[in-house]
Structure 1
Amino acid sequence: MDKLLTNRSAFLLWLTVSWITTAEADIALWQLGGSGLEWAEHDSVAILIDEITTPGAIQPIYIQPDRSVFSYLTNWGSWTPRELGYVDGERPRVSGNLRLVDGDSTSYLAPSSGASPDGRTFTFDLAVPVPVFSFGFYTPSQGYRSDGNSLREDVVPAYELYIAAHNPNEWRQIADVQENFRPVVRHQFPRQYVRFARYIRRLSRSLEAAQIEALQISSQEIWAKGQAYRGTIGDFEIFGEGVPLRAVYKTRIFDLGQKVNFGRFSWAATPLRIVDGEPVEAPDAPVSIQVEARTGIDPKPDIYYEFTDMGTRIPVSQQRYQDVLKNPSGAVNVNDGQGGALTLTTRPKPGIRAGIEYDQDNWTFWSVPTFESGQTLGLRSGSHLQLKILLNSEEFDAFVRLDSLWIETSPTLATSVIGEVARLDDPQPLRGVAEVEMGATTEFVYDVKAEVSAADTGFDALRIRTGGPPAFKHLEMGIPLRQVEASEVVESADGLTIRLPERLNAGRNELIRVVFAAEVFDFAWTFDGQALDSQSQSLPQPVQSGDVSSDIATNTLRVLASSTTQAEKIRDLRLSTSVITPNDDDVNDLLEIEYVLLGLPRTVATRLNIHALDGRKVATLAAGSQKSGLQRIRWDGRDASGALLPTGLYLLGLEVEGEATVIKRLIPVGLAY
């Protein structure tokens, strides 16, 4: 070992240079904005994004106080049912007719007869929180009712208005008007962030006394003769001033022409503040840029299914799914033909939609967001790329302009590089994933298999991210595996790099096994790996989870950690579903976590923490004080701000406060739409 670690200066220099240079011909820069691709020509979502003011750059739209916020928003959708492909926060919505937000009072909803108007509700979702100071509505500018009265004077007799900043379940009332005589209604309040607004029609006890009296006899009688109820709304209006809390830009899916490795994501940006009506540079502005990315090896990240006459599912094109197939209706439980069960609303047959699934075999989930330029996102190699960019601001009059964004790319070193990890003493765990004692030194076996074609350059080193100081044990290579001596080994504070004695190329596709010891400090840890080429400045190629050999039965680079002594207080932890799908179809919209608490001397505080796979806590649910016995907690798939989380795998950390410590139990759950 000492021999391996002594002469490593040149190897360390190469490791450093491989991350900081882009001047070599092996690395190319893919650019969006500036002198690269046009922002406006390559977006799939643009919520309050200004692509015009500064050529080659994007920035949030600055809301003007004399223009309705609705007029800045496009691509409105219906509140219910959610349309195909809806993603929370990426499309404005209205529960009612779109004519109510089009800015044209002549396209009003005609008054109608029938049931009582009391309680009729319209709800608006601006997609993102916007600085707002006024919410209201007005009557049509022209036209007449069936009784001959002018629509301009057909005011709404009584109503309530509500606003919410982040969560549509946390309304704040701003108006409760029981007698209204105004055709133009505008309720003002201190400027604040508003995403949701709601109108509720009420009956006026003074202006509609006859109708209320008739309703006590029959809810239909007063309108049975065809008399339309009072109150016609031409349009709703929301006024504000300033920059949204976040502006959203999502690119279309780019076809890069070939499979590549990805390096650092960098950008040029300018923080600004509006002073005396003009933007000026403001380095202290509380603004940020948030970038996420996902990669794939085909054009579509979703798989669309149709039922067969046998009740099983077959993949179909997106066009057929959207334009030809019909939604199910009725309620039937059936076998899905793949070892599971589906709760359907009609009997499965050809012509019926059988659901949409994320193609996680060919596409990555969205990456962990980065807020700093020059960072890597840990992306898997791919031929297709999509970006999601948030321009965030914590001040009404401050914003950031994104001038350009560029990404390092280089050709792949191999057609594929897959790996899996397990405990050395338990290579085939019963649950299919390595489980370790948190904080305890554990020996791991890390297997890697590469497929290298004649067109690939190959690689001669591996890097493994351990999260803490590792201890290298030995290296094995070949088919069958045999122990060999590594050319170089570098143990750092959070990783292990091994230079192989032989280069892997098309003529030498061998198995690689690294045995090392490390501690796991997080509930879930992924031993991310990279294949490296020390002979060039090509970007590292990520090691993907997969089935390397029958020796190890995890097929993953992830391990789970827990404290066995603490976990004994929590038993029989069960989930109502392994995948929560909060898409308002009444099927797995809520996740119910059921468990038994044992041996607690008193009632204790219990909470559920939801973690992303990188360890970030994205939500916390307080369950209050609980005692020994059967207990339950429910989760609706939302983060701490009330927004629905992206599709992916999350870790639920159940925490129960004990006498001196916090008892924890961890379990994974998927989220999909």
Structure 2
Amino acid sequence: MRKLGVLWLVVALASPTLGDRAEFALGGEDGNPWTIPLALEGEEGGFYTVYGTDGQVLRTESVGTSPQWIGADTLINYADGAMTPSWVDPNLNLTHIVSWDQNGQSQVPFHDLGGNIRVTQGENSAFMGMTLPSTLRAYDGDRTSAMFRIFVQRIGAPPGVGRGFRNNTITNFGAEMPINRIRFYPRLSKTEDAHIIAAMAEPKPDPDTFGEESFAANFLEWYEIGVADNSAPIADDAFTVPKGLRWHKVISSAGLGGYRVSNDSAYSILRSVRENLDVVVDFRFPLRHIRWVAIRALDPVRDWEIAEVEIYGQGFVRKARYLTDILDFGQPINWGKIRWSGQRPPGTQVEIRTRTGTDHNPHIYWEPNAITGEAEEISFDEHFGLPVREREPPLYDRDHWSFWSPPYDFEDGLRDHAQAAAAWADGTVLQSPSPRRYMQLQVTLFATETEAPRLDELQFQLAHSLSASALLGEIWPVEVDDARSQRFTYVVSPDFQTGDTGFDRLEIGTHTQVDTVYHVKIGGVEVDLAAFPPQVLTDRLIVSLDRKLSDPETDRFKQVEVAFQVPVLRFGTEFAGWVYNSDDPDRIKQRVQPGNATFRYAGDVLAVRTQVGGRLLTDVRVHPNPFTPNNDRVNDIAQLSFDVREVVARRPLQVALYDLSGHEVQTLATTQTKTGIVEYSWDGRRSDGSLVSPGVYIYRIRLDTDEGAEEQVGTISVAY
């Protein structure tokens, strides 16, 4: 039985009339189970609890789900109150089936690995019903039954010339599993074949599970084993093959004929044997992440059988995924922050993404017009009423749904347990637009064979109340030629209605540190920056207004304009903006939406384009150079800085210093970084703390990405 982990979605209801907050909890003693937001059975997405200002429970509210969507969890383990990728025990037979249906979809005891596998034959669907029932006997855990295949001797031909069953017997795990061993064997006698049973490797089968009669002579003497991962363009079901996929190659009609026919090209052939002498085939191979396993007889010359197919693996699954249903909060929600507690060992990765929408389905369904071929929108029911092969891939409803956010930086969102949880001083701003009624969460966990990340809890900060009924913003210019520091103008136009809480702060995500703030204007009137100084952080700018904007009579569409200078280091950099009240203890921020905020500019966007391609490490600067680390407080430290461009997620970075003979003098950094300005200092000392001799030294900056490594090399001079 699954243990339940813990996930909290904290809904801070900062309504000025209610003055209350709420928590939507998953797992734990009082929260919703992890599986509730998956809504696999069409149920609601759980409930959240509303608290008063004194912390007392006021009421509980239901969270709805989409009637046209379900969530999914693949290879997730919820043991110990956390979310982790599943671990495969090397002694667990992954194909041991406890039950199966007539289509070969089978429930396995290893529930945390997705719940089911499929067993099928590589045949035309017309013959599937004749062969599949006997095939399943090789997966039923009963060593006294077998998948038996006959050989038909050709009349008048030499012995062994005829027709036999050659099609693949296929195991589909539905997801990639870490597999390194495949074992199969015929029905054995617990008396006559006791020596064969005793010689079988761990896990050793119980001799009493075998029958009295021996069918060892029916062992598979000629076989081929093929495997494929998720990239194979193969459908799960022969009867419902979607567009873009196909069924397994049919090697011969009804399994007969087809002498020396090659296997399906989607498979990598691990072993091909035409003179096997082993009654028990126990094939071990280096660990591979496999979804499909195909076993077939190579041109049989007699009857043959398989009593049991056993597949084993070891280690953590490489990729595990958790996807909630579309969660319906009943009204537009102001999404604040997101944070989590967990661990990410070296070599592992956690990708957390969100998206928000204004309706319950992010897809648009369509079919081509019978005459013109142009796309015509159809309903959800009409789409799924079509035969599978006639269903067109749905379009994304970008007018009502945001795209998935980039993965949140794991370190940025970590819970800081030194801070009070209610203060929300930790976490990171939710990147999906708001206010939006609907939200969906996706978590993908990447593991190594021996190490896996884990999420202990994950929290969202939300509010029912809005700072403004609408917030449109745009930036100008929207295109720059290079990564040099540029002047930009950022304009926000708010629309207020009665009940909006208003705002006196504007936060702009700049990704790199702003060089200069030129002015802040409200309705064309400049704010005194000496009295209301902007806060310049390494990746954002926080502007203080000289008053709170909130009045529907006087503040509607009153533009807030900020002029600043900053470099743009990534193509399509979005200068996301948020507004909030400085006197709000929860500091829940409302996202600025791109749009026509001013007639002066025609961009209507918050993203800036720059040149695509080029180096990722640019503009390396050393100052002063040479430097004199003689402790006279003048030029004692050399500053090494550089720009990292076009790197969205953190990637490994190493900065090291060498002498001219190539010996390493000092490692300044072994860390991870992403787009931004990076700076390190050197005091002229070796790793052991001793001062280096005067001379020329070499710096090497290395950034590892998915496309390979990039390096920058230069010199630093030391003088005394």
Mark yes or no: TM-score above 0.5. yes
Change (3 A) 1:125 1:447: farther
1:42 match: secondary structure: helix
AA aligned opposite 1:158: W
Contact 1:285 1:399 in 2 (8 A): no
Aligned to 1:446: 490
In the alignment, what sits opposite 1:39?
Answer: 34
From 297, 313, 331, the counterpart of 1:240: 313
2:413 is the alignment partner of 1:366? no
State the Cα deviation string for residues 520-569 of structure 1 (Å, max 9, x = none). Answer: 12234211111121231341112222333443233321112228999xxx
**Rounded Cα–Cα distance in structure 2 between residues aligned with 1:233 and 1:246:** 32
Instruction: Please name the residue that 1:263 is paired with.
Output: 336
**Whole-angstrom CA distance in 2 between matches of 1:548 and 1:181:** 78
Change (3 A) 1:23 1:258: closer
Aligned counterparts of 2:278 and 2:482: Cα–Cα separation in 1? 66
- CA distance in structure 2 between the aligned counterparts of 1:565 and 1:47, rounded to whole angstroms: 38
Q: Residue in 2 aligned with 1:631?
A: none
Change (3 A) 1:325 1:174: closer
1:239-638 equivalence runs, <5 A: 239-269=312-342, 289-308=350-369, 311-324=373-386, 327-328=389-390, 353-370=391-408, 371-372=410-411, 373-374=414-415, 375-376=427-428, 377-381=430-434, 382-396=436-450, 399=452, 402-411=455-464, 412-423=466-477, 434-466=478-510, 467-478=512-523, 487-505=532-550, 506-507=552-553, 508-510=555-557, 511-536=559-584, 537-562=586-611, 614=648
Corresponding letter in the other structure for 1:552:
Y
Aligned CA distance change for structure 1 residues 546 and 92 (closer, same or farther; 3 Å): farther
The alpha-carbon distance between structure 1 residues 196 and 517, as it changes in their structure 2 partners (threshold 3 A), is same
Q: Which of residues 203, 222, 241 in structure 2 aligns to 1:158? A: 222
> What residue is the counterpart of 2:194 in the other structure?
none
Q: Choose which of 50, 53, 76 in structure 2 pairs with 1:49.
A: 76
SS in 2 for 1:551: coil
Counterpart in 2 of 1:186? 282
Q: Which amino acid aligns with 1:365?
A: F
Are the aligned partners of 2:360 and 2:438 in contact in 1 as well (CA < 8 Å)? yes
Query: What corresponds to 1:68 in structure 2?
Result: 93
Q: 1:475 to 1:562 in 2, by over 3 A?
A: same
Offset, 1:322: 1.4
Residue 493 of structure 1, CA deviation: 3.4
Aligned residue for 1:69, secondary structure, equals coil
| 1:490 to 1:48, Cα distance in 2 relative to 1, 3 A | closer
Instruction: Provide the aligned length of Structure 1 versus Structure 2.
Output: 475
CA 1:304/1:28 → structure 2, altered by over 3 Å: closer, same or farther?
same
1:23 shift after superposition: 12
Q: Does the 8 Å CA contact 2:354/2:431 hold for their aligned counterparts? A: no
Could you tell me how far apart the structure 2 residues matched to 1:270 and 1:484 are? 44
Deviation at 1:171, TM superposition (A): 7.5
Q: Distance in 2 between matches of 1:360 and 1:91?
A: 34
Residues 1:176 and 2:268 are matched in the alignment: no
Counterpart of 1:461, as a letter, is R
In the alignment, is the contact (CA less than 8 A) between 1:526 and 1:557 conserved in 2? Answer: yes
Deviation at 1:317, TM superposition (A): 3.1
Q: 1:489 touches 1:498 (CA, 8 Å); kept in 2? A: yes
Q: CA separation in 1, counterparts of 2:98 and 2:456?
A: 23
The AA in structure 2 aligned to 1:42 is P
- The amino acid that maps onto 2:93 is S
TM-score, normalising length from structure 2? 0.54
CA contact (8 A) 2:85 2:447 kept: no
User: CA contact under 8 A between 1:31 and 1:407: conserved in structure 2?
Assistant: no
User: Secondary structure of 1:499's match?
Assistant: strand
Displacement of 1:92 after TM fit? 7.0
> Partner letter of residue 383 of structure 2?
Y
How far, CA to CA, are the matches of 1:50 and 1:564 in structure 2?
40
TM-score (norm 1): 0.58
Indicate how the Cα distance of structure 1 residues 501 and 383 shifts in structure 2: closer, same or farther if over 3 A, else same: same
- Corresponding residue SS for 1:561: coil
Is contact 1:522-1:561 (8 Å) kept? yes
Q: Which amino acid aligns with 1:541?
A: Q
Q: Sequence identity of aligned pairs in percent?
A: 26
* Matched-pair contact (CA < 8 Å) for 1:45–1:90: no
Q: In 2, Cα distance between the equivalents of 1:319 and 1:151?
A: 53
Distance 1:115 1:461, change over 3 A: farther
1:218-241 Cα shifts (integer Å, max 9, x gaps): xxxxxxxxxxx9655676432123
**CA drift at 1:134:** 0.8
1:162, distance to aligned residue in structure 2 (A):
4.3
Shift in Å, 1:449: 2.5
Find the counterpart in structure 2 of residue 630 from structure 1: none
What is the rounded CA distance, in whole Å, between the counterparts of 2:100 and 2:474 in structure 1? 44
Partner SS for 2:384: helix
- Aligned AA for 1:239? Y
1:301 Cα deviation (Å)?
1.7
Per-residue deviation, residues 441-462 of structure 1 (Å, max 9, x unmatched): 2222222223333232122221
**Match of 1:421, SS?**
strand
Q: What is the RMSD computed on CA atoms of the aligned residues?
A: 5.0
Q: For the Cα contact (< 8 Å) 1:33–1:405, is it kept in 2?
A: no
Of 133, 142, 154, 2:180 maps to 133
Secondary structure in 2 matching 1:435: coil
Distance in 1 (alpha carbons) for counterparts of 2:405 and 2:97: 29
Instruction: Find the residue that maps to 1:294 and give its secondary structure.
Output: strand
Gaps of 5+ in 2: 1-10, 39-70, 104-113, 123-131, 153-161, 190-213, 233-264, 416-426, 616-644, 653-704, 715-720
Q: Distance in 2 between matches of 1:500 and 1:543?
A: 16
Mapped to 1, the partners of 2:381 and 2:151 lie a distance apart of: 37
Separation of aligned partners in 2, 1:399 and 1:408: 27
Residue identity matched to 1:415: S
Contact 1:476/1:512, CA 8 A, preserved across alignment: yes
Structure 2 vs 1, CA of residues 491 and 62 (structure 1 numbering), >3 Å: closer, same or farther? closer
CA pair 369-441 structure 1, distance change in 2 beyond 3 A: closer
Measured in 1, the distance between the counterparts of 2:215 and 2:364 equals 49
What amino acid maps onto 2:77 in structure 1?
Answer: D
Change (3 A) 1:520 1:156: same
- Using the TM superposition, give the Cα deviation of residue 39 of structure 1 relative to its aligned residue in structure 2, in angstroms: 0.8
Counterpart residue type for residue 519 of structure 2: H
- CA–CA distance in 1 between the matches of 2:497 and 2:148? 64
Decide whether aligned partners of structure 1 residues 617 and 306 sit closer, same or farther in structure 2, where only a CA change above 3 A counts.
Answer: farther
Greater strand percent: which structure? 1
Partners of 1:115 and 1:420 lie apart in 2 by: 73
